[in-house]
Structure 1
């Protein structure tokens, strides 16, 4: 399933699989980027913990994580034997990206840290499931997802802290 003529890391994954996972991941990333509004008066007024990273950290962390998600997805899909298993992995990958994209509008557009927290718990569960499936298909794919799992775990704690510090911010208009 590898593209031997491609050279480099494309010998590890098929070009077509990498294109598909990259496009899907870019769509999720783009949806999140469009919905983010860290300059809104609502967001600026929230009481945030002292350990919240600076604004510039978020794109600096998410960009390589999205690249790793696309790579891991391609690696895992190429390493999965059987159409049924591959279909289940594609579904898990798609659900994960939908959950990833859904958090930002819930937090920034709906303005509900509480609802976003419930959603990110579902994303965390999906991340664990995706990592398990990827690891089973190809260990390097599983390892590539570890930063994603770690960062969303941190984001979950940050979301919980913001929700707890701002009870009146829940679904505030």
Structure 2
């Protein structure tokens, strides 16, 4: 029997603080999106020519509510997977930075597309968002595979959003 036993590192934050740290940035992103779209849906967006595969307007808030819960849960798990020492620590910080960068891009897309009516710039932002979500999945995989898997539907939705944004740009 060896005298040294490996004890898993406990999360760096207490559970309640980790929960707040996971929910608040996702909720803030959702709030920005909601404020940026509400006035534009019945006016500017309704007047755009959209592709046949454009879903009804009610689908978007339903999808985003589900995705936001999954994104927050993913962040909560990633925050709990933080290594205390070793080479993995810098990799964890990179995973967290990528996660927060994709949230920032998520928050930036809606005002770019809806408020500024910048469909082309919106396409650039949503394409960058897709890259960052995929990179976040790859980086989170090393620390918490469930956190990574929770982002997969988000990546699928952002892929669809990128295609939809490109089609709207082409049609308008």
> Structures share a fold, TM > 0.5?
yes
* Contact 2:29–2:106, Cα closer than 8 Å, also in 1: yes
TM-score (norm 2): 0.85
* Contact 2:99–2:133, Cα closer than 8 Å, also in 1: no
Equivalent residue for 2:147, pick from 126, 135, 141: 141
Structure 2 residue runs without a partner (length 5+): 1-9
* Contact 1:73–1:134, Cα closer than 8 Å, also in 2: no
| Bigger proportion of residues as helix | 1
Counterpart for residue 170 of structure 1: none
* Contact 2:98–2:136, Cα closer than 8 Å, also in 1: yes
How many pairs are equivalent? 155
Larger Rg: 2
Q: Deviations over 1:38-87 (max 9, x none)?
A: 112x2221110111111000011000100110111111221132443333
TM-score (norm 1): 0.84
Structural RMSD (CA): 1.5
Q: Deviations over 1:99-119 (max 9, x none)?
A: 001000111111011110011
* Contact 1:100–1:123, Cα closer than 8 Å, also in 2: yes
Equivalent residue for 1:53, pick from 52, 55, 58: 55
Structure 1 residue runs without a partner (length 5+): 3-12, 167-173
